[in-house]
Amino acid sequence: MRLSDIAGIDSDSEVTGFAIDHRKVARGSVFGAFAGAVFNGEDFIGQAVDRGAVAVVARPGAAVDRVPHLADPEPRRLFAELAAKFYAPYPKTVVAVTGTNGKTSTVEMTRQIWRMSGHRSASIGTLGVTTSDDQVKTGLTTPDIVTFLNNMAGLKRMGVTHVAYEASSHGLDQHRAEGVPLAAAAFTNFSRDHLDYHGTMDEYFEAKMRLFERLLQSGRPVVIWADDPKANEVIERAEAGGLEVLTVGRKGNMIRLVEQTPTALGQTLKLEHEGKPYRLPLPLIGAYQASNVLTAAGLVLATGGEWDETFAAMQRVAPVRGRLERAVISRGGVPVYIDYAHTPDALEAAIAALRPHVEGRLITVFGAGGDRDQGKRPEMGAVASRLSDVVIVTDDNPRSEDPAVIRSAIMAAATGASEVAGRREAIAEAIRIARAGDIVLVAGKGHETGQIIGDRVLPFDDALVARECAA
């Protein structure tokens, strides 16, 4: 494809790809030079041109010579727009999910329901790229725009027709998931997270709402979990933009949740759809899983799915890795659950999900990540100590921070909690003190298989460690 066809400029240069890392530039690449958290891509423009870049996308004031300068005040947005033309075509039906919690479960359940309805489907997010046959990790909830578009185009070539992906606030703010037409979008919930990046809750919320802005010209539907405190504001935004609003939950107009009852291995939901009652045996523990599966079902219906097929598939959805995953049952008969909860709201939801199944004590093990929002640490400590019977504060991913300082911030509000520095030792201690009737929750890392300490990533899988300790 010629540069003139992609960028609309007078150039016969042949474009062979796009790159945002100058080390990945090959002859024929279009280079995106953006300011990042650590490096400024503009510092590497010369090297990118030396390596064969045929054009550079950068802000108007950037120093670009020898090749065309494709300037824009928001260079990431322009880069995404141009790259999307190059990598097309994409799967026919693509949906995106935003919100603080539940994105991973929702996109994966959407994929599962589509698959059980006969579609070749995939999901993209925190777990990587997941299809019926494989799972490939990308390292980020929303990967960089080149990886994202490459993945989408690759799925199309594989014959995948339906894709659900997570739209994180970082990804939306940095235009990392654009260019692929959306058939629908969804909003799960909103609570504190990522303030180390966004600064304020208002800025964080506006980043989430960028997803709906992409639908304004298309008139595509949005699915909203109606029971979240922020839902009314989201609904007003969507309706003001002329979007079709489909809600699910106790206040839902598409799928209404009438009643929710925990069972030994899951829960029973009483639903209403188009005025008719339904009883759904959901094989997932956790009250909040109802929001995930109903939002997923809403997306399937919004994109042409049939209710009978969707309802049948909802009864067979499988748990998502690291999301209230039962890792092991100890020799004493104590189940140990692993969950990705790393915000106050998510931790509260995970504890609340397990509470109906606890006959004895709920023992919670958790920490907080380093180099991230420090304000949520005492809030997480307060939530855990208020809702758990026993709390053990330990390390998460300390990154460049002193782990003891992170633990101290949590302990300041975790009344009655104990502190165990090593995460393996903390998990072992929780299992050691647990007795029949208790449940152990290990929160914070979920599906992750490494622990970030300093600049190293050490092998660490909560589920595997729990099994080793229980043995």
Spatial CB neighbours of 316, under 8 Å, sequence gap ≥ 6? 112, 116, 283
Residues written for the chain = 471
396 among the known binding-site residues?
yes
139 among the known binding-site residues?
no
Q: Check if the beta carbon of residue 132 is closer than 8 Å to that of residue 115.
A: yes
CA 75 to chain centre: 25
Give 318's Cβ-side CA count (13 Å radius).
9
151 among the known binding-site residues?
no
99 among the known binding-site residues?
yes
142 among the known binding-site residues?
yes
* Closest residue by Cα to residue 150 from 24, 4, 321, 48: 24
In Å, what is the CA distance from 357 to each residue of 264, 352, 470?
7, 10, 20
398 among the known binding-site residues?
yes
Q: Check if the beta carbon of residue 51 is closer than 8 Å to that of residue 31.
A: no
Q: Which two tokens stand for residue 194?
A: 């990522």
- Which amino acid makes up residue 8? G
Burial class (CB in 10 A: 0-12, 13-18, 19+), 401: middle
Alpha carbon distance 142, 227 (integer Å): 26
50 among the known binding-site residues?
no
Alpha carbon distance 444, 58 (integer Å): 37
105 among the known binding-site residues?
yes
Q: Check if the beta carbon of residue 346 is closer than 8 Å to that of residue 340.
A: yes
Spatial CB neighbours of 133, under 8 Å, sequence gap ≥ 6? none
| Angle, alpha carbons 187-191-192 (nearest 5°) | 135
Q: Which two tokens stand for residue 256?
A: 């209404």
In Å, what is the CA distance from 389 to each residue of 59, 111, 416?
54, 37, 9
444 among the known binding-site residues?
yes
Alpha carbon distance 207, 50 (integer Å): 36
Alpha carbon distance 100, 404 (integer Å): 27
173 among the known binding-site residues?
no
295 among the known binding-site residues?
no
394 among the known binding-site residues?
no
176 among the known binding-site residues?
yes
456 among the known binding-site residues?
no
Spatial CB neighbours of 121, under 8 Å, sequence gap ≥ 6? 110, 111, 114, 115, 131, 132, 160, 161, 162, 163, 164
101 among the known binding-site residues?
yes
Q: Check if the beta carbon of residue 30 is closer than 8 Å to that of residue 57.
A: yes
Alpha carbon distance 343, 38 (integer Å): 25
How many CB atoms are closer than 10 A to CB 239? 12
174 among the known binding-site residues?
yes
How many CB atoms are closer than 10 A to CB 192? 17
117 among the known binding-site residues?
no
Binding-site residues sit at 99-105, 141-142, 168, 174, 176, 372, 396-399, 444, 448
Tell me the binding residues for meso-2,6-diaminopimelate.
Answer: 372, 396-399, 444, 448
User: Binding site membership for ATP: which residues?
Assistant: 99-105
